[in-house]
Structure 1
Amino acid sequence: MGFKSLIVNCIVWLLFSAATLHGQNSTIQHTVKKGENVYRLSLKYGVSINDIYRLNPDARDYIKTGEILLIPTNTTSQNASEDTAVNGVYTVKRGETKFGLSKKFGVSISELENANPFIKNGLQAGHRLKIPNGSNQTETAVSNADGSHKVLKGETLWGISRLYNMSLDELKKINNFKTGQILLEGEVLLVDNKQNITNNNTYTVLKGDTKYGLSKKFNTTVGELERLNPSIVSMLKAGDVIVFESLKNEIKITKSEEDLSIESEEKEIEADDNWYVIKPKETLYSLSKKTNMSIDELTTINPKLKQAVLAGDSIKIKNSIPDKINETLAATELEGRFQTNIFWYHPESESGENISKNNNDYYTGIKNAISNISSGLDKVKVITNSSFDPTSDNLGTKTDEIFHIIPQPKFNNNIADLGNFEFRFFENSSPQTKMIKSLVSDSQMRIKMLSFLNSTKANIICVYDDENSDNIPLIENSIPSIKLMKLNRNGSFKSNDLQNLLDSNRINYVIIESKKTGAYLNVSTLLLKELSKYNSQLAVLDQKNIPDESDVSIKRFKILKLMYPMAYNPNYIDSRNLINQIGYMVNYDVINRISSQGIKGFSKISEVLGSSFKYVIIGDTIQNTAVSIYTYGENSNAELLGTY
């Protein structure tokens, strides 16, 4: 062999080695298994059939079990698209699901399957998916002058993010999108982080804006905003364009009301002539104290307060507003009001670092209740004595016209335990003791809710998990025609299992008997998807089971009008000051009944702070039986359906 031939052979060998090494870096070997074909392999590895044929020409004719095929890979593309879609294509990673990808890219599962029919029977790692942008628009778009985008029919979050060269996460972040939140046609999204204000003194309302928030933003009042923009008086909607050119007046918030315990202290409020702007987290109870008006007075001149107390709303108030709330009790007598003693006993034996604060909050509620009973207050006394023994029968003069009330609240997670009292009195000189339960228990609310649902003659379905399976006998006994579906451990289920239970000819009430977030996401997703075919509404038997808004979008519950029972009206009670306000409510009702009519006072129906009280006397127990049912509505998360 000549020298030239040797050089040529070396060059050929080097080229062959380089090609082999390149091939090893860009291909993998696959041993064909029984039942596999080229099409299935292309789906498995997310490559085209022609790519496999190019590296394995004989495969065009046939492949056999045990044969080794070279499968092309594209490491550069794969790495680039590990967490994002490149040129509208995404490579599925191990462990990913259709549901997870639909949330990742803001598209529905149906849209994913329509764009990629091969995943209808199953999703596999390596599948290369086309991600639909849900729009007929071109790849580039110009936002409105104010940096917003109005969602068109069929658009998706992922598609909108591509139109404006944004990442999906960035679009979700600036629009406060939460897990599972649904994109609606006509919704206005912010597609520019810059302030959403134009040069002609107008502003386009974004999702989450409130009248109160905008009044602070532009240093004005809600009333002035409504005067300049009459269209927002009834409701402020995302996409509204409002004028703020002549907004000049400024309201100063002098003090935020962190503690609504209504101690004797100065409280300054915001007032614009005879109007007041409701601040976040205020309730009817706190408004009545702040304005020195009764709740009846407030709701009479502001009927909208009966439905909901919304931050940013303007309400009419009295001409004069006191600077101080005085707790001095009136001393006028009312003929016929009985002497009533409230024995306040501080339970030293109870443990817990918040016991002292809880006692003080509840006691303040008692004092506020007495101060709001209109007359005869000299006959209502609070007796506080550290040496008082609540087990003693010696409570003073034995007469039929003196009544003794011993509040017995327990500070735990059971709200009903805040409404317990011991009621002692004499009847024909004979001592009597009865227990008053002024708040209904969780089990009573369940029974009332089931009774209400059964009375509707609707198609009722209960989806439940293992943790709540012990409740099923009660549910079946209360609603004999109910249809049951058990959830998997993670709250999932087969779509057909629930869909087959729905009735297109009747309203469907779907009870979720679970605390799992996944159960609420999965059930609501299917019901929303089928809403055009089936009239469906969600329900729970225990309000505490409803997941937090940070876990499941509240918009789902509003669309599906989620129903739940409550022992008190959540529109009137501030959760930050729960013990004080519950203490006020139950003591006001009990003291007013007993001091005016004695035990006969429990025969009437009453309402305090929007909560109903309807008692029955069974043996030695006086039990409130009124349960109110609320629903998530357009303007409030607690719209009253009725009291039963």
Structure 2
Amino acid sequence: MGKYFTLILVLVLCSKLSVAQQSYTEHTIQKGESVYKISRQYGVHVNAIFELNPGSRDVIYAGNVLRIPNSSNTTGTSSNTVITENKISNYIVKRGETKIGLSRRFGVSITMLEQQNPHIVSMLQADHVINVDKSIEEIKPVAKEGEHYVVKGETLWGIARENGISVAQLEAANSDRLSEFLQIGQTLIIPDKVSIDTSSDEYIVQRGDTKFSLAKRFNMSISELESKNPHTVPMLMAGHRLKINDSEIGFDPEAPSDAIEVTEMTEVTDVTETKPDSSLSTTNYKNYVIEPKETLFSLSQKAGMTIEELTNLNPKLLTAVIAGDIIKMPIGVSGTTVNTSSSAGTNDTTDTVATADSNNEDSTTKIYSNKNEVLFANLDTETSNGIYFYTPFSRQELSSPEERQKMISINSEFQKYIDFFQGSQVAIDSAKALNLNFDVTLIKKNIAKSNITIESPHNKNAILVPFSDTSTTFPSIDSNAPISIIDIESNIESSDSITVYKSIPSETTQITKTLNYLAQKNSNVIVISDLDEARHKDLISNALPEAKFLKVDNAGFFKSDALEKVLNKNRLNHIVFDSDKTIVLLNTTTALMGKLSNHNIQLVMLESSLLPKQSEVSDMRYRILQLIFPSTSNPQNKIDITDFENKYEDLYSAKPTRHAILGFNVTFDILLRISQDSSPDNLLNTTRSEQPHLKFDYQKTTDKTFLNTGIYLMQYNSNEGMTELQQ
């Protein structure tokens, strides 16, 4: 009888399961459809669709499949919940839902959501009850004097520009309220509009102030100024409160500026020629030949003009100060002059480039020394070294806006070379400020040549090769002195005549570093992919032989109980996500967050390129799942990054592109390394270094090849934002 009863029970359960499995219809999403529109089409509640398709709360894609429950099986969110086009009543918040998700779902702003539900302002929690009446007009917050209320679409750059201040000033005044991203609805302090009472012993830094001018104004050295105000050591910012302790303060309006100026943010423009000021008469100027070692600063001093006036008169100086170039200078300035009919010279295979100098006592370059103590401690400023750039441009083409534009019109890819060299120019200026001694030479790329002969007077030399075509074989090098090839995304193969240093870490390096970290943790590793074979299965299996592989469907759904079976309640579970589909990430992370109450889970990505844009996936998911991912740059190194960006914008009135960032970081690092007081054989592979964006840790892979393995391993933290993991 007992067996018979058990059989009946099993049959009943199977029958219910069969009914449950057939209680939905599959709908292929069409372009322009929304979850709400689909729910109306099938006569079901949107919540019922969300429950069967978790990732659809954030985004859906045409071509993907949604599971639509049969209308007879849907009961809505709760028995008391009512959702219409104009009103939401008694909606109960579910675990994993966010304010931004609810605002999109209900078609209201987060501000309206919070105004009508003040209990969610501090934090949205599961089981909160939401009521929204769309007929009630949203109350627009009014910012107080000296404040700014952030609305949708605004950026820090736009707010700073609107208020006539720099981004650095805005960030300094709001350091206690700015997180990684600007938030809609938050209030920012505008430093120039905040009235601050100062005593005779204090001074509030104004826009345009510099350490040099302030030190002179208050009759002290820069070292004394920094000693009394250590918060200004990394960077002087508008709004900083300085301790002066000197009641007799004089003001010198003619005090010169130093290297760290508090400047206004300028409008981002293309790299184009600046038209000379029409008020500058050409009859009072002569043609002047730039001499070796002359700089923009020294030329402006010699001309008795400001740098802005000199560059308006000679737009080519905005790109570089090149020895031998002809510029206009006031009559009476000593130096070599030429007639207007004279030729500027022929274009040789190699062109020597003189670069901008800086003799200011206060150089921001010292910021970078904090992380490169070994390099800075062993600099040789007496011996001259050689730096070469392998480029499609000649000296004349690179320095002429017309020639550059002509080449870009032929091949738009040339723009990245221009950006790279502009970043390199900032690095060269910074290195000159350290009194490093080097000569810079351009080698014009010529695919017809299979050999480059270099007669160098230097014992240490390096050729930087950015973005060379992979289809082009790099020429062999005949040099009378040791020389190293610095590969910047060029895929150069080493040979008997050349040693190659690959300066940008590869994707394989990112993957290997991340896997090696996981191997040290003795965790339960689960690899999730939407393919039959994970893309990096061989690398993963070699590093983590006990890793489990789990496949999801194209929408990111697991088979019944598949995830539960591989998770371990007694160990840390590292979930390695190996897919580039956003919908798969959304549904997978939703499933993982549902398991957090009983399991210790951390999400892992092996490549930074797999991270979707923030507009597609909220980083709150990453914080909840404590995402671990590799990165070639350090997103926390904001001081050094801001310093570089300010310098770049001062020179080129534009924000640096990725290629300009590479130009600065690689060039500055190589200039430090090549200037070490060591033998040429010990040139690049002896010291780890860290520049504003990139880390450099060259490791020997073959006799003639060195690979930069400098990778940051980052982890999202729910409380602190993001931290760097120790490898």
Q: TM-score, normalised by structure 2?
A: 0.52
Superposition pairs for residues 41-60 of structure 1, below 5 Å?
none
Q: Distance in 2 between matches of 1:172 and 1:600?
A: 60
Q: Distance in 2 between matches of 1:395 and 1:100?
A: 68
Select which of 630, 639, 659 maps to 1:579: 659
Percentage identity across aligned positions? 18
Q: Per-residue CA shift, 1:574-603, capped at 9, x if unaligned? A: 896100111110111122211324342321
1:196 and 1:203 in contact (8 A); partners too: no
Q: Which amino acid aligns with 2:589?
A: S
- Tell me the secondary structure at the aligned position of residue 466 of structure 2: coil
Q: Give the stretch that moved more between structures: 193-202 or 583-592.
A: 193-202
2:57 and 2:105 in contact (8 A); partners too: yes
Select which of 490, 515, 537 maps to 2:580: 515
2:531 alignment partner in structure 1? 466
Matched, 1:321 2:261: yes
Matched, 1:394 2:453: yes
Structure 1 residues 97, 388: closer, same or farther in 2, change over 3 A?
Answer: closer
Structure 1 residues 456, 130: closer, same or farther in 2, change over 3 A?
Answer: same
Superposition pairs for residues 193-212 of structure 1, below 5 Å?
194-197=138-141
1:343 alignment partner in structure 2? 389
Superposition pairs for residues 337-486 of structure 1, below 5 Å?
337-346=383-392, 353-374=411-432, 379-386=437-444, 391-397=450-456, 401-410=458-467, 426=481, 433-466=498-531, 469-486=534-551
- Displacement of 1:402 in angstroms is 2.6
- Displacement of 1:384 in angstroms is 2.3
Gaps in structure 2 of 5+ consecutive residues: 1-13, 26-35, 59-66, 115-122, 195-202, 209-221, 243-256, 265-295, 298-354, 361-378, 395-406, 484-495, 646-654
- Displacement of 1:623 in angstroms is 2.1
Select which of 603, 623, 642 maps to 2:707: 623
Q: Distance in 2 between matches of 1:176 and 1:568?
A: 37
Superposition pairs for residues 245-256 of structure 1, below 5 Å?
250=193
Structure 1 residues 275, 124: closer, same or farther in 2, change over 3 A?
Answer: same
2:96 and 2:593 in contact (8 A); partners too: no
2:125 alignment partner in structure 1? 185
Q: Which amino acid aligns with 2:451?
A: S
1:529 alignment partner in structure 2? 594
Q: Distance in 1 between matches of 2:480 and 2:113?
A: 58
Larger Rg: 1
Q: Per-residue CA shift, 1:51-102, capped at 9, x if unaligned? A: xxxxxxxxxxxxxxxxxxxxxxxxxxxxxx976689xxx93399x9554666
Q: Distance in 2 between matches of 1:174 and 1:209?
A: 15
- Displacement of 1:477 in angstroms is 0.9
- Displacement of 1:516 in angstroms is 1.3
1:592 alignment partner in structure 2? 672
Q: Distance in 2 between matches of 1:554 and 1:621?
A: 38
- Displacement of 1:250 in angstroms is 3.6
1:632 alignment partner in structure 2? 716
1:151 and 1:184 in contact (8 A); partners too: no
Select which of 549, 565, 568 maps to 1:500: 565
1:461 and 1:482 in contact (8 A); partners too: yes
1:460 and 1:510 in contact (8 A); partners too: yes
Matched, 1:607 2:690: yes
2:6 alignment partner in structure 1? none
1:27 alignment partner in structure 2? none
Select which of 546, 552, 566 maps to 1:487: 552
- Displacement of 1:224 in angstroms is 12
- Displacement of 1:567 in angstroms is 2.2
- Displacement of 1:372 in angstroms is 0.9
Q: Which amino acid aligns with 1:629?
A: L
Q: Distance in 2 between matches of 1:334 and 1:44?
A: 77
Structure 1 residues 341, 425: closer, same or farther in 2, change over 3 A?
Answer: farther
Aligned length: 486
2:205 and 2:238 in contact (8 A); partners too: no
2:391 and 2:444 in contact (8 A); partners too: yes
- Tell me the secondary structure at the aligned position of residue 568 of structure 2: coil
Structure 1 residues 208, 561: closer, same or farther in 2, change over 3 A?
Answer: farther
Q: Distance in 2 between matches of 1:407 and 1:159?
A: 49
Q: Distance in 1 between matches of 2:408 and 2:155?
A: 45
- Displacement of 1:496 in angstroms is 1.7
1:132 and 1:159 in contact (8 A); partners too: no
1:171 alignment partner in structure 2? 108
2:567 and 2:599 in contact (8 A); partners too: yes
Gaps in structure 1 of 5+ consecutive residues: 1-34, 47-80, 107-121, 144-148, 178-182, 252-271, 278-291, 306-311
Q: Which amino acid aligns with 1:395?
A: I
Q: Per-residue CA shift, 1:30-63, capped at 9, x if unaligned? A: xxxxx999x989x9899xxxxxxxxxxxxxxxxx
Q: Distance in 1 between matches of 2:436 and 2:446?
A: 22
1:204 and 1:242 in contact (8 A); partners too: yes
Q: Which amino acid aligns with 2:673?
A: R
Q: Distance in 1 between matches of 2:57 and 2:431?
A: 58
- Displacement of 1:563 in angstroms is 1.6
1:220 and 1:248 in contact (8 A); partners too: no
- Displacement of 1:614 in angstroms is 1.6
Q: TM-score, normalised by structure 1?
A: 0.57
Q: Distance in 2 between matches of 1:161 and 1:462?
A: 28
Select which of 618, 641, 644 maps to 2:725: 641
Q: Give the aligned CA root-mean-square deviation in angstroms.
A: 6.3
Q: Distance in 2 between matches of 1:465 and 1:138?
A: 35
1:229 and 1:242 in contact (8 A); partners too: no
2:152 and 2:184 in contact (8 A); partners too: no
- Tell me the secondary structure at the aligned position of residue 426 of structure 1: coil
- Tell me the secondary structure at the aligned position of residue 538 of structure 2: helix
Structure 1 residues 589, 217: closer, same or farther in 2, change over 3 A?
Answer: closer
Q: Which amino acid aligns with 1:126?
A: S
Q: Distance in 1 between matches of 2:262 and 2:706?
A: 39
- Displacement of 1:335 in angstroms is 4.8
Q: Distance in 2 between matches of 1:542 and 1:230?
A: 31
Q: Which amino acid aligns with 1:342?
A: Y
- Tell me the secondary structure at the aligned position of residue 367 of structure 1: helix
1:426 and 1:432 in contact (8 A); partners too: no
Structure 1 residues 424, 548: closer, same or farther in 2, change over 3 A?
Answer: farther
Q: Per-residue CA shift, 1:292-326, capped at 9, x if unaligned? A: 9xxx99x9848999xxxxxx998889997266995
- Displacement of 1:632 in angstroms is 3.1
Q: Distance in 2 between matches of 1:501 and 1:45?
A: 27
- Displacement of 1:478 in angstroms is 0.5
Matched, 1:274 2:183: no
- Displacement of 1:446 in angstroms is 0.8
Structure 1 residues 604, 204: closer, same or farther in 2, change over 3 A?
Answer: closer
